[in-house]
Structure 1
Amino acid sequence: MIEQTRRERPVNILIKAAGYSSILFVTLIFIFLMREGLPALANVSLSSLFGTIWYPIEGYFGIWPLFFGSIIVTLTAILIAIPLGIGTSLLISEIAPMWLKNVLKPLIEILAGLPSVVLGFIGIQVVVPLVREGLNLPTGLSGLTGAILLAFIATPTIVSISEDALNTVPASYRQAALALGATKWQTIWNITLPAAKTGVLTAVMLGVGRAIGETMAVMMVTGNAPVMPHGLDAIFLPIRTMTATIASEMGEVANGSPHYQVLFFIGIILFMVSLTINVVASWVSTRGLKRSERSLS
C-alpha cells in the first residue's frame, strides 16, 4: 500500500502542476491584455471609443458596430445551431440504429476538426452564392452567411456534450415511461431531455463560446463592413465582428499606437465575454451535479 502511494505521488504532482499551470497561463494572458489594452481608455476619448464609427485612419475607434456585429452573428448562429445540435444528439442517442450512429459520430468529429479557413473557403464558394441568389440580395457576403458557418462550427460541440448528457440518463427512466404507455417521442421529450437539461444547457453555453471566438471563417464571408446595425435586416447586410477586426488589422498597426491599444481593448472585451460564458456553463454543470447527488441521497 505504501509502495503504491509512493508511485502515485509523482502522478498527483504532475496533475496538480498541469492544473495550476493552466490557471497561471490564463492569468498571464489576462494581465498582458490589460497592460496593452487599458491605456486606450486614457489615450482615446470615451466618446470616440464608445462611438458608432470605426475608421481608425481618421481617429474614429467606435467599438459598438463591432460589438453588435459579433452579437448579431453569434445569436443567429446559436438559433440555428441549437435545434440542429440538440436534434442530432437526440437522433444519435435515442433513435438511430447502431450502424447509423457509427456513421454520424465520425462525421461530426470530422466536422469539428475542419480548419476554419477551409470552412471559410467552402462558405465563399457554396454558401455565399446560395444566400445571394436564394434571398435575392446584392451580395452574399453578409451576417447571415457568417451565422450559417458559425452554426456549423458550434454544432459539433453542442452535439458531443448533449449526447454525453443524454447517455447518462438512467435506462430505467425510459423503461418506466414506456411501461406506462408513453410513446417513444413522449419519452424523449418529457423524460430523457428534461433529465439531461443541465448537460444540454452546458453544451449550448460552450457552443456560444465557440461561436463568439471564431475568427477566420467569419472574416472571410461577412463582408467586413464596420457599419452600425439598424433593425432586423442588418443580418442580411455586410457586417464586421470583433474577432475579424483584430485579425485583419493587428498586423498593420504601429506598436503602442492608439489603434494598437484599442484592438487590445477589444481583446479584453472578448476575453471577458468568453470567461463569463465558461463560468456560467461551469456553474450550470456544477449545480446540476449537486441536484443529482441530493436526489440520489
Structure 2
Amino acid sequence: MNNKLQKQLLKRSKAAKLERLGKTVSFLALMLITVTVFAIIIFVASKGLSTFFSNHVNVIDFLTGKDWNPNVTNSKGQPEVGVLPMISGSFVVTVLSAILATPFAIGTAIFMTEISPHRGAKILQPVIELLVGIPSVVYGFIGLTVVVPAVRSIFGGSGFGILAGTFVLFVMILPTVTSMSVDALRSVPRYYREAALALGATQWQTIYKVVLRAATPGMLTAIVFGMARAFGEALAVQMVIGNAALLPHSLVSPASTLTSVLTTGIGNTVMGSLQNNALWSLALVLLVMSLIFNLVIRLIGRKGAMSK
C-alpha cells in the first residue's frame, strides 16, 4: 500500500507534463530561430566575401570606389565595383527621412498620450495602423505619380533623386517612429507627472522637462529603429530615386542606394560570376549595417534601463 502511494506521489501530474512540453517546444523554437539567423549570416558572408577572396577585389577600393560597373576593369586591372555612391545615397536618404519624421512623430505621440489621450488615440491610432499596413509598392507608386512630379515642378530637375526618396521614406517610417514613441511616453510613471504638477509646473513644463526627458531613451530607440527600417527599404526607394550609381551632388539629382542596386541587378547576373558576387557583397554591407543598428538600439535600451 505504501509503495503504491509512493508511486502516485512521484508520478508527474498532467499540469507538470504540459509545462515540460511547453518548455521543450519553446526551446526548440528558440533553437530554430537561432540556427536560421546564423545560417543567413554565414550564407550571406560566404557569398559576399567571394568578391575579395575569389575575385581578388581590394576591400578599400570596394568601399571607397566611386564607379560601379562590374563589367568594366579600371587602369589597375580591377573591376569597377566601388560602392561609395550607394552607401552615401543610403545614408543621406535615411538620415534626412529620420530628421523629417522625428518632429512629426514626437508631436503626434505627445498629442496622443499627454494632450488628448482618449480622443487622440481614438482618431490617430487607426491612421497609424493603416499606414503600417500599406505595402511598399503602393508607397512607391504614389511617390512615382505624386512626389516625383511635385519635386520636378517645385525644385526642378527630373524629379527623381534623394529628395523624392526622402519624402517617400518619411511617410513610411512615420508610423513606426510614432508607435514606438507613444509606447515610450506611456511607459513614464504617472507619479512623475503628478509630482511635477504638485510642484506648480504647467502641463507643457511637465511634458517638456519631465516626461520627454524620462522617455528620451525610448524615443531614441524609436528613431534608430525607424532609420533601420528606412536603410533597408528597397522597392519604394527604387521607384523614385533614379537608380543612378553616382555620388549625389544635390538633393534633386538621381542617385541610388544599396537596396535599389540589389533589387535591379540581382536577377540579371549569373551565380558565381563577379557581377553576382559584387551584389552579394552589397547584401553583406546591408547585413552589417542592420547588425550595427540593432546594436545601437540595444545600447540605448540598456542605458535607459540603467538610468531608471
Contact residue 111 and residue 117 of structure 2 kept, 8 A: no
- The reply to whether residue 112 of structure 1 matches residue 132 of structure 2 is yes
User: Corresponding residue for 1:87?
Assistant: 107
Q: 1:60 aligns with which of 80, 83, 94?
A: 80
- The reply to whether residue 34 of structure 1 matches residue 45 of structure 2 is yes
Distance 1:45 1:276 in 2: 24
Unmatched runs of 5 consecutive residues or more in structure 2: 1-11, 73-78
User: Corresponding residue for 1:49?
Assistant: 62
- The reply to whether residue 69 of structure 1 matches residue 80 of structure 2 is no
Residue type at the aligned position of 2:38: T
- The reply to whether residue 276 of structure 1 matches residue 292 of structure 2 is yes
Shift of 1:97: 4.8
SS at match of 1:236: coil
Distance 1:138 1:8 in 2: 64
Identity %: 38
User: Corresponding residue for 2:5?
Assistant: none
Shift of 1:255: 1.0
Distance 1:127 1:85 in 2: 21
Residue type at the aligned position of 2:209: N
Distance 1:5 1:244 in 2: 52
Deviations 1:30-61 (A, max 9, x none): 11111111110131532753411112232421
Q: 1:167 aligns with which of 186, 205, 208?
A: 186
Q: 1:143 aligns with which of 159, 162, 180?
A: 162
Aligned residues: 288
Go from structure 1 to structure 2 and tell me whether the alpha carbon gap of 1:290 and 1:19 turns closer, same or farther (over 3 Å shift): farther
Residue type at the aligned position of 2:281: F
Deviations 1:186-209 (A, max 9, x none): 111110011111211111111111
Shift of 1:175: 1.5
Distance 1:202 1:65 in 2: 27
Go from structure 1 to structure 2 and tell me whether the alpha carbon gap of 1:267 and 1:193 turns closer, same or farther (over 3 Å shift): same
Q: 1:78 aligns with which of 92, 95, 98?
A: 98
* Superposition misfits of 4+ residues, deviation over 3 angstroms: 1-5
Distance 1:84 1:165 in 2: 15
Q: 1:229 aligns with which of 229, 248, 251?
A: 248
User: Corresponding residue for 1:286?
Assistant: 302
Distance 1:8 1:81 in 2: 45
Contact residue 73 and residue 235 of structure 1 kept, 8 A: no
**TM-score (norm. length: structure 2):** 0.89
Q: 1:6 aligns with which of 17, 23, 37?
A: 17
Residue type at the aligned position of 2:263: A
- The reply to whether residue 244 of structure 1 matches residue 260 of structure 2 is yes
Distance 1:195 1:139 in 2: 45
Shift of 1:2: 5.4
Residue type at the aligned position of 1:74: T
Distance 2:151 2:193 in 1: 42
Asked which structure has the greater CA Rg, the reply is: 2
SS at match of 1:201: helix
Distance 1:38 1:106 in 2: 45
Distance 2:23 2:302 in 1: 23
**TM-score (norm. length: structure 1):** 0.92
